[in-house]
Structure 1
């Protein structure tokens, strides 16, 4: 790929795990809307639940999540009391006939929760929601937190998918990002999960990290492949020190440039393809028999705040500080600050403080952007049928983009706007064409490669 082409299409744009994106949320949507939207969930609906644990026993410099470091368990225990209260309140507002098809524990580090508390947390969910028999239960795992008792507790809550944050195994890179985690720790934790019945293991790997080179990333990828994960998420490090001040611990001069980032991404993708993994969207890879790969082949791939997913539920209920929920009507976000979150939950049982209500144009553009990100294409006929009288604007934008596309990133054939193989690495940039809010100055974003 020509360096000039990479630089041309690497401008900062959103990751499009939602549309409109979080910088456009406001207090115009709040607790009253949230209560209404929860009550509107039908008895025949599928629901996904996300539980956020915003604590870590160390703070990784690369992290852009809502989390805080604690070396004491008391704040975690207090927080869990609030989370139990929120679970009970929301469960009481949602029809017990609606089925939970997925439960994801994220963070922070959910695995720092003590075994008995983890079991009690899952019990709270099952006490207040109805779970489908085949519900997927996934947990973000930090091998540094794990011991036999925690592995047993994770098996006890029925974990089916374990997601291991690896980032990079190179000791120089690990020191620079404050994430010391040996290959042996990771290997042993994965084996312990599999022995206890976990059917799917995901590994997160980052490129674009400080002091990371093409050669060091190749060594990391070789080590990751030796672990035989079912899925690999290959993310570009998002350097956003204006938003996450601890990232200022990473010197700007230690970071690879845009062209080098692109080379790292391309080489890691080549190694995954050579090992038999199928490419899923812009940054996920899966074995051919994995459910994510099947969803991609069958056109069922979706994208939400956790990235690419095969979860078919239209409703995502977020619980915990900073958690975001997605409903047919719009998005809702809880109070990010843990102390304020606990105060809200103690007073009302809910902690929603901002959100976004969809307009018809938002829904149309969300579909087009999701199709570009998941299928690398969208059909003019499909959007005209789904959005009669509204689709003309985005179709015209697609035609205009193609007319100006001197780099061969896209085609339009038989009424389908499609990214070429040359254009797929720049899917975020192409998707931004259909973002009606991007130019209004709200939010700063990471580079697009």
Structure 2
């Protein structure tokens, strides 16, 4: 497999360079939900969440997200809710609370929630002992309505994955694992406090495959300190040679005001918007040459992977885990900081593990904030999701599914008019299209339909 030439900036046809300068550095949401989390408030609390769980219709297709907020060391780029522990006891204490929360939620949802998908995130879910993971999975299966085809996925730090844990995952029915890599460039790894060799990563993949965890995802990041286009391509080339089914390639979001450990990163070593874009496009070219299809804004998949099939069929979805084939009507979040989505709206648990534990052990859901969706929110959410997944949205068709004329979303939309005038989008009647070679601008296009964007105070990552 021939790698593309290194060290040359990706071509910027037409107006792409001016577009990048104008829109690429904008701080915008990733739109894994709409409305986004800064809109959540205490108006939706534990009692409200309990009512929503009890109101689930029988047979509601549902997903689970379980958050394990512990790591052995802090990666300085990290934007997750996690804490560092070198001891196992804090993890075991947390898992006992998590098992109690599972019972609480199940008592309210009963068997009305049919579980199609399970995702363990963190932190580092595989920080727990192998036997603890098996016990946790047993608790889930005994209390909730799993079925034979329930898909189970786990996020993994290859540096700490043991062979024993890999085989416990296989025994528990896990069939997909997402491995954090970020970069194989040693200079970048030193700058983000995450040393990880290709050999260790390949070894973890081999153990997982031997255990029956056949779906392998690899996560990469561009825009890291001291990262170059050359090193980004070399990392992508090395990762592709391991033949994962999917790769996710995220832009680093530097928000030191929100994540204080990011202050340990040398800001002067961060690439600018044009360099970030060059890295992203060079990675894309590398993965395309390796046989991967580009999915949405930042995912890649082999042609026969369900993600690629869903994109081709117009069934691609987007949620808190990124691009997905999951079409669940409800997402039940478990663990500290976990976010869920009921048919009525969003809920989020206590972020601090201590406060989370106190609520659960008092016998109540740990929900402390959320958001009740309006009809307008649902309409805009569908428009934003189609833009993020398909780079186009038919407002007439979307409006019909909601029983409204969605044309009002175009009228007086100054953000969208500016993007059209700059050649970033085409508007044909009620159909909005983003050129695929300008997909870096899609978050700016989605933001045109965000009714709350100018009202929040939280800092988001760069659009490109």
On whether the aligned pair clears a TM of 0.5, the verdict is yes
For 1:407, the equivalent position in structure 2 comes to 422
In the alignment, does 2:83 pair up with 1:54? no
For 1:4, the equivalent position in structure 2 comes to 18
**Deviates most, 73-82 or 408-417:** 408-417
SS at match of 1:348: coil
For 1:368, the equivalent position in structure 2 comes to 383
In the alignment, does 2:336 pair up with 1:314? no
Alignment of 1:229-248 (within 5 A): 229-248=244-263
Query: How far, CA to CA, are the matches of 2:437 and 2:423 in structure 1?
Result: 7
For 2:9, the equivalent position in structure 1 comes to none
Gaps of 5+ in 2: 1-11
For 1:175, the equivalent position in structure 2 comes to 190
SS at match of 1:80: helix
In the alignment, does 2:126 pair up with 1:111? yes
Query: How far, CA to CA, are the matches of 1:326 and 1:379 in structure 2?
Result: 25
- Return the offset for 1:421: 2.6
Query: 1:361·1:390 contact (CA, 8 Å) conserved in 2?
Result: no
Query: How far, CA to CA, are the matches of 2:314 and 2:357 in structure 1?
Result: 41
Query: 2:426·2:434 contact (CA, 8 Å) conserved in 1?
Result: yes
Using a 3 Å threshold, how does the CA distance of structure 1 residues 264 and 92 change in structure 2: closer, same or farther? same
Query: How far, CA to CA, are the matches of 2:331 and 2:201 in structure 1?
Result: 30
Give the one of 157, 162, 165 matched to 1:147: 162
Residues matched between the structures, number: 449
- Return the offset for 1:375: 1.1
With normalisation by structure 2, the TM-score equals 0.94
Query: How far, CA to CA, are the matches of 1:93 and 1:254 in structure 2?
Result: 50
- Return the offset for 1:440: 1.1
- Return the offset for 1:401: 2.2
Query: 1:207·1:234 contact (CA, 8 Å) conserved in 2?
Result: yes
CA deviations over 1:390-430 (Å, ceiling 9, x no partner) = 62321335698247623321112353111123432210011
Give the one of 68, 82, 97 matched to 1:82: 97
Query: How far, CA to CA, are the matches of 2:48 and 2:238 in structure 1?
Result: 48
In the alignment, does 2:438 pair up with 1:423? yes
In the alignment, does 2:458 pair up with 1:433? no
Give the one of 206, 212, 216 matched to 1:201: 216
- Return the offset for 1:8: 0.4
SS at match of 1:62: coil
- Return the offset for 1:110: 0.5
Query: 2:80·2:123 contact (CA, 8 Å) conserved in 1?
Result: yes
Using a 3 Å threshold, how does the CA distance of structure 1 residues 393 and 249 change in structure 2: closer, same or farther? same
Using a 3 Å threshold, how does the CA distance of structure 1 residues 400 and 354 change in structure 2: closer, same or farther? closer
Query: How far, CA to CA, are the matches of 2:462 and 2:222 in structure 1?
Result: 13
With normalisation by structure 1, the TM-score equals 0.97
| Pairwise CA RMSD | 1.4
Query: 1:24·1:442 contact (CA, 8 Å) conserved in 2?
Result: no
Query: How far, CA to CA, are the matches of 2:200 and 2:265 in structure 1?
Result: 25
Gaps of 5+ in 1: none
CA deviations over 1:112-146 (Å, ceiling 9, x no partner) = 10011010000110010011211110000111221
In the alignment, does 2:381 pair up with 1:385? no
Using a 3 Å threshold, how does the CA distance of structure 1 residues 227 and 359 change in structure 2: closer, same or farther? same
Query: How far, CA to CA, are the matches of 1:220 and 1:36 in structure 2?
Result: 48
Segments ≥4 residues shifted beyond 3 Å: 397-400
For 1:217, the equivalent position in structure 2 comes to 232
Give the one of 292, 299, 320 matched to 1:277: 292
In the alignment, does 2:374 pair up with 1:359? yes
Query: How far, CA to CA, are the matches of 2:121 and 2:296 in structure 1?
Result: 22
Give the one of 348, 354, 365 matched to 2:363: 348
- Return the offset for 1:13: 0.7
Query: 1:282·1:373 contact (CA, 8 Å) conserved in 2?
Result: yes
SS at match of 1:396: coil
SS at match of 2:457: coil
CA deviations over 1:375-396 (Å, ceiling 9, x no partner) = 1111122122123346232133
SS at match of 1:299: coil
Query: 2:39·2:456 contact (CA, 8 Å) conserved in 1?
Result: no
- Return the offset for 1:273: 1.2
Give the one of 240, 243, 247 matched to 1:228: 243
CA deviations over 1:220-258 (Å, ceiling 9, x no partner) = 111101100100000001111000000000010011111
Query: How far, CA to CA, are the matches of 2:285 and 2:462 in structure 1?
Result: 21
SS at match of 2:411: helix
SS at match of 1:434: coil
Query: How far, CA to CA, are the matches of 1:398 and 1:297 in structure 2?
Result: 30
For 1:20, the equivalent position in structure 2 comes to 35
Query: 1:330·1:357 contact (CA, 8 Å) conserved in 2?
Result: yes
